[in-house]
Structures are given as C-alpha cells and as structure tokens.
A = this chain, B = another copy of it.
Amino acid sequence: MKNKANRSGCPISSMLDIFGDKWSLLIIRDMIFSDKNTYGDFLKSDEKIATNILASRLLVMEENGVIKRLEHPDSKAKVLYVLTGKGIDLLPVLLEIQFWSDKHLSVSTEIRALLKEAKKDREKFIKTKTKELKRRFDALVILPHQAPNS
C-alpha cells in the first residue's frame, strides 16, 4: 500500500486522496455512530466489505493519523481501533453527507428522525457528540497501560 501523493494543493483533492473510495468513510461511520472498534465489528456491517480491502483501508487511515491501533483490553487476539482527534473531526463531514442524502435520496424513517434532531441544533449536536467520542476513546487509550492482571 503506497502513500498517496497529493494530486494537487486543493483541500478537497487532498481529502479524497485518503477517503475517496466507497469504504473508508463507512468504517469511520461505524466507529462514530455504531461504536464499532474491531476488525470483526467492521466485517459485520451491512455493506459486507472484503477482508483484504478492510485491512488495506485500516492501514491507510492509520498511516494518515485518522485512527490508532491499540491492544484490546479484553483479549490479546483482538485489536482495538480508535479514532484520533483528526478522525473524530470527520463528524461534520459525515453529518452533511447524511443531510444531503436525507434531502435527495431515500432514507429510513428512523435515521431521518435522528438527522432531524441533529439538524435542529447542529452546533450543539456536533459539540456534544465530539466530546462523547473524545471521552470514549481517551478512556480506551489510557486503560491498556494499567496492567490488567498482576
């Protein structure tokens, strides 16, 4: 997996160099909205990502500082993937994508309800969710260093 050369100085183009495919943002979605954080979790999603693609995307996102690989507190066989601040900051992007889809494509009524809520006070929703995510991942980053069995 090569490191993608910036195709141009354009901020949109640079972002697409990392996320311009059908899968990367779905992994971020799973981490933000569905509390998923292991390889196996991501495989279980509705879109059925292939194992090699998943491994490759996780690597690219790790190389770009969007996610971090940690040892899982429950088991040495597992790997814990957490979002960094850079990753958490994708929340507004994912929100706007959802608002667009809500307006122009067909979206289930339950998701529509959640989006309506988020749209009502966008800023507050983002701030609250961001804090929640930071708390969640900070806890996971720190925990593993406290020896679990001694």
Question: In the assembly, what is the distance between CA of A115 and CA of B11, in Å?
Answer: 10
A58 to chain B, nearest CB (A): 17
* Interface SS majority for chain A: helix
Closest to A49 in B: B7
Contact B16 A98 (CB under 8 A): no
Q: How many residues on the A side are at the interface (Cβ–Cβ under 8 A)?
A: 44
Contact B100 A89 (CB under 8 A): yes
Q: Which residues of B contact A13 (CB under 8 A)?
A: 26, 46-47
Question: In the assembly, what is the distance between CA of A97 and CA of B69, in Å?
Answer: 24
Q: Which residues of B contact A62 (CB under 8 A)?
A: none
Contact B9 A101 (CB under 8 A): no
